[in-house]
A and B are shown apart, each in its own frame.
Chain A
Amino acid sequence: MINGKPAEARVDLKVVAELVEPDARVLDIGCGNGDLLKLLEDTKNVDGRGIELSQAGVNMSVARGLSVIQGDADTDLVNYPDDSFDYVILSQTVQATYAPKEVVEHMLRIGRRAIVSIPNFGHWRLRGQIFFRGRMPVTRNLPYSWYDTPNIHFCTIRDFVQLVHEIDARLEKAVALNAGGQRMPVSAPWWFWNLFGEQAVFLLRR
């Protein structure tokens, strides 16, 4: 919802879903219209909950029978007790939060594991737009102009890995997807992911 992209474009949802163990308790922050939660309930039999900022997203989710509340990742995570979920997921939302570091820290407090997927601002196409055109990048996946974007805290894959180190979290798994939505080789070096990965999914643990 935050990216305004249709469900079929969200290849990252499938990648995220594969990281979740069956029957887990899952909190999806910024769950949009509930696509990921629905996918997880249907394929992994999870006990899923969601938080979504937009009224339209919440209403649609609840109408689909999902447990979703209207709320804000920046202000509402404090109300969740420690260790109340197996996974806390933030898919394509971290860049829209006001305090991403605190949000990820809360995720690791509330859940045993956290899954974060990000659009990679280090992708060559975005670098190219700034380098050659001198303009803020606008792409198919990041369609907003600088003045109306909800995305206020972009980062690159390397930036996010750096954040994981800073908060002393363990990076259990990382997956990068190229522009075609295909997984990039695990053996590839970070600089290669950072340049050619359009999005990345991280599995973290305390």
Chain B
Amino acid sequence: MNSIVSDNAADAIEAAQHREVDTPSSAVMRFSKDKPLRLDAGVDLAPWQIAYQTYGTLNDDRSNAILICHALTGDQHVANQHPVTGKPGWWELMVGPGRPIDTDRYFVICSNVLGGCLGTTGPASTDPETGKAIGLDLPVITVRDMVNAQAMLIDGLGIDSLFCAVGGSMGGMQVLQWAVSYPERVFSAIPIATGARHSSQNIAFHEVGRQAIMADPDWRGGRYLEEDTRPSKGLAVARMTAHITYLSEAGLHRKFGRSLQDRDAVTFGFDADFQIESYLRYQGMTFVDRFDANSYLYMTRAMDYFDLAADNGGVLANAFMGSKTRFCLVSFTSDWLFPTPESRAIVHALNAAGASVSFVEIESDRGHDSFLLDEPELFKTVTGFLAGAGRARGLGPSETMG
């Protein structure tokens, strides 16, 4: 945890990240000028591309596809080794052979979100006309834009309707947006640790992160790629702040307490005396090598703008009227970024709309990040819900095997 990534290794990771932006090692679907993506900002994006991973096999009925929507700093490498960091997939506990989202049964798709930096068009992508990074010329992206991009990908893969859309946090927002924008194309939905809108407090934290990035002189008004600098300090601070919001007071106390880092007494200086400081610095430092600072601005903005009720006359239930999708919402007791009442508000709206909904609050002291961790109740819930939805969809255990 306290090891310092050597400069060479960091440079190699950063170079690999840069390669992935335009020419990802994932599969890519490219859309030419005649297939633009109409953005909420009112402009057409074209040409554009979306990078994605798939696992398992699509059945003959094309009825067993599950779309996984990733969170703010996630990517499409949900269940395979990461091409940049070399780390395992970010949700291997959930997705894989014999896992709750069983790749022996389901055809799993995960794409890099629009505005991301791992192969889908985003601010770090090269503009083919100028040969330079698009940067802040990219219009502000919304969660709905991300979902519309995914829908075009799903079209391209020849899939009419998804068996399930699953995701946590910003991924959960996309899942909700899928259910609202394309109700007939989502048979079931699992929004985890999320909300129907970003709260004022959440916007506030995001603003701190953005200000940290933009205050870094190396940000260069967003043109750092052209000028070959990186706002690493600003991005690291943004990540450190955000990371605190993903944990909980109790979890932090259990893990770190007031323990000192490799020393017996405080140093009366501003080194990382405490383990928690060292941990946060490490989190910030490793993040900057694998993530683009402008992309971070766009992702956080997309979440801030998300408000499903506002999109539907101020009444959340209207968003789900007539929905046939089967919903399963999950929240965690110690999540203060998307606390349980946020999920409950969605549940009430779904009830009012007469939709089919399950809701589980899981006891955990590991905060918002719980959805990514080893939480057996979460796995049981997802397994059971998918089994029930699978029966309703007519997915036999045998017919989907390979």
B360 touches A84 (CB 8 A): no
Residues of chain B with a CB closer than 8 A to A62's CB: 328, 358, 360, 381, 384-385
A63 touches B351 (CB 8 A): no
A68 touches B358 (CB 8 A): yes
Q: From DSSP, what is the main secondary structure of chain B's interface residues? A: helix
A63 touches B383 (CB 8 A): yes
A187 to chain B: closest CB distance in Å? Answer: 41
User: Assuming the A-B contacts A55-B363, A62-B381, A62-B384, are A67 and B348 also in contact, with contact meaning beta carbons closer than 8 angstroms in the complex?
Assistant: no
Cα distance A47–B388 in the bound complex, in angstroms = 13
Q: From DSSP, what is the main secondary structure of chain A's interface residues? A: mixed
A64 touches B352 (CB 8 A): no
CB-contact partner of A63 in B352, B362, B363, B384, under 8 A: B384
Residues of chain A with a CB closer than 8 A to B362's CB: 55, 59
A112 to chain B: closest CB distance in Å? Answer: 14
Select from chain B the residue with minimum beta-carbon distance to A84: B354
A65 touches B389 (CB 8 A): yes
B262 to chain A: closest CB distance in Å? Answer: 40
Cα distance A71–B359 in the bound complex, in angstroms = 9
Select from chain B the residue with minimum beta-carbon distance to A50: B358
Residues of chain B with a CB closer than 8 A to A66's CB: 358, 388
**Total chain A interface residues with beta-carbon distance under 8 A:** 21
A166 to chain B: closest CB distance in Å? Answer: 28
Residues of chain B with a CB closer than 8 A to A68's CB: 358-359
Taking Cβ atoms with an 8 Å cutoff, the residues of B that contact A are: 326, 328, 347-348, 351-352, 354, 356-363, 377, 380-381, 383-385, 387-389, 391
Other than the known A63-B383, A69-B351, what 11 A-B pairs have Cβ atoms closer than 8 Å? Answer: A58-B360, A59-B381, A62-B381, A67-B358, A68-B358, A69-B347, A71-B347, A76-B348, A79-B351, A81-B352, A81-B354
B380 touches A69 (CB 8 A): no
Residues of chain B with a CB closer than 8 A to A69's CB: 347, 351, 357-359
User: Assuming the A-B contacts A55-B363, A70-B361, are A65 and B391 also in contact, with contact meaning beta carbons closer than 8 angstroms in the complex?
Assistant: yes
A27 to chain B: closest CB distance in Å? Answer: 9
User: Assuming the A-B contacts A55-B361, A70-B360, are A65 and B385 also in contact, with contact meaning beta carbons closer than 8 angstroms in the complex?
Assistant: yes
Judge if A49 is at the interface, Cβ distance under 8 Å. yes
Residues of chain A with a CB closer than 8 A to B385's CB: 62-63, 65
